[in-house]
Amino acid sequence: MSVKIDLNHKIHVLMKKEELDKVRLSGKIVVVLDILFATSTMVTALAHGATEVIPVLDESAARAESGRYRDCVVAGELDADTIPGFAHPAPLALLKHGIEGKTLIYSTTNGTVAMTQAAGAARVYCGALLNARRLAEHIVARHPRETVLLVCAGSGDNFNFEDFYGAGYFVERFAD
């Protein structure tokens, strides 16, 4: 099915998570993109049976959140190093760890931080190349005429090409 964005939809691309602010978020639909890591891992976890994924800001938030769940996997990294005591946060490692039927509590340096920072939006979605077509269809159907912010998580305080590529891919899916 081809998706055609309504001419009243507005799409804005933020080059890195540091461009997020409350003014831009209010009433907006946000799609966070961390193409090589966080958002692709979250989509993969759900596709392989995780009951839900809870993105959190940092290690302490992950530990606090894990106390609320009986059957969860806590995974995360900080500056590309697996957080001690957490599952390795890459997709294949999580599949080996066993996430089917479990809640994944997930902390990363960039992607989950961006998702947490976007919490003031009307709706926040996890975008990846893996779910771009379906997510674009969903947004067009469920959020007609609303402004969409495509947020590139970036790397640290820097722009990165892969997230920008992902944003372009989403724009293309909307324009098809």
pLDDT digits (tens, 9 = 90+) for 46-64: 999 999 999 999 999 999 9
11 alpha carbon, distance to own chain's centre: 17
pLDDT at 175: 87
Mean pLDDT of 111-123: 96
The C-alpha R_g of the chain, in whole angstroms, comes to: 16
Give which of 130, 166, 173 is closest to 150, Cα–Cα: 166
Reported as a single tens digit per residue, the pLDDT across 160-176 is 999 999 999 999 999 88
Tell me the pTM. Answer: 0.92
pLDDT at 2 exceeding the cut of 70: no
**Position 21 confidence tier, pLDDT thresholds 50, 70, 90:** confident
What is the pLDDT at residue 87?
97
Average pLDDT over all residues of the chain: 93
Over the range 21-30, which residues count as b (16 or more CB within 10 Å of their CB) and which as e? eeebbeebbb
What's the confidence (pLDDT) of residue 138? 97
Given this model, what pLDDT does residue 176 score?
82
Asked if 124 and 32 count as a contact pair (C-beta separation under 8 A), the reply is yes
Compute the half-sphere exposure of residue 28: CA atoms within 13 Å on the CB side of its CA: 24
